[in-house]
Amino acid sequence: MAAGKVTLSNGKVLDADYVICGTGFNQIVPFLDASVMKSINDERGNFRLYRQLIPLEVTNLAFNGYNSSFFSQLNAEVGAIWLAANIEGAIKLPTKSEMLSHIDNRLAWMEKRTENKHARGTNIIPFSVHNIDELLRDLKLQIPAPIRFNQWLLPINPKSYAKIGPKLRKRLNKN
């Protein structure tokens, strides 16, 4: 298939700038080749994604909104902002070895704290707040410490994060 085209199941060919696949609740991605899956999963089936978003062994691929959480929408929103900033070159990523180490440490941390009952390497409560904090730190768009503290202790208030996108657009001069 030519770049910028997508073929529907009925054979119709459409122009496409982006293809977004909604996989539903099941954490499977049957539309990816087995070789791709092997490069993004470990031997236990955990997704090895930096910041729960990007695989290091497959370029031009990201998994946004894949975290399992009671506030997946907020994770997906902050993840989308992080991905947009990364595409724009506005995030200084660590070295590949540092990112691999981060992935290994995060998986070990999650396995220990969930007694190996996490969601295939993706976030589960309460680890989603930790992931949001990491993404915002990378973006240099942290919410104020007292508000962040409340997010850990009280029900999440998504309104606390409302200015993140506009602040990033302003920084990147994208209105």
- CATH number of the domain enclosing 51: 3.50.50.60
Q: Is residue 12 part of a domain?
A: no
Which pTM does this prediction carry?
0.77
Q: What angle do CA 59, 71, 41 make, to 5 degrees?
A: 30
Number of domains in the chain: 1
Q: Is residue 136 part of a domain?
A: yes
Q: How many residues are recorded in the chain?
A: 175
Phi-psi region of 69 (alpha: psi -120 to 50; beta: other; left: phi over 0): beta
Structure-derived torsion over alpha carbons of residues 147, 149, 83, 120, reported in degrees to the nearest 10: -150
Dihedrals φ, ψ of 107, to 5°?
A: -65, -45
CB-based contacts of 53, cutoff 8 Å, min separation 6 = 62, 63, 64, 79, 82, 83
Q: Is residue 118 part of a domain?
A: yes
Q: What is the pLDDT of residue 120?
A: 60
- The amino acid present at 75, given as its one-letter code, is N
Q: What is the pLDDT of residue 83?
A: 94
* Cis amide leading into 158 (omega within 30): no
Task: Label the pairing between strands 5-7 and 13-15.
Answer: antiparallel
Neighbours of 127 (CB within 10 A): 21
Q: Is residue 18 part of a domain?
A: no
Q: Is residue 51 part of a domain?
A: yes
Residue 146's domain comprises: 45-171
Q: Is residue 75 part of a domain?
A: yes
Q: What is the pLDDT of residue 7?
A: 84
**What averages of pLDDT result for each successive group of 10 residues across the chain (175 residues)?**
78 83 65 90 87 92 73 83 92 96 88 67 64 92 90 85 92 77
CA 84 to chain centre: 11
Q: What is the pLDDT of residue 122?
A: 59
Distance CA 99, CA 82 (A): 15
Q: Is residue 122 part of a domain?
A: yes
